[in-house]
Amino acid sequence: STNKVPVSLVCSVPLLNATWDT
């Protein structure tokens, strides 16, 4: 089921972007 994405992945992606943006 590709519809279900891991919460950790969804949470880690924006987190990394925010960290790298600083």
pLDDT score recorded for residue 12: 75
Each residue's pLDDT tens digit, 1-22: 566 777 777 767 777 776 666 5
20 SS3 class = helix
Predicted structure pTM score: 0.26
In the numeric block, which tokens belong to residue 12?
Answer: 């880690």
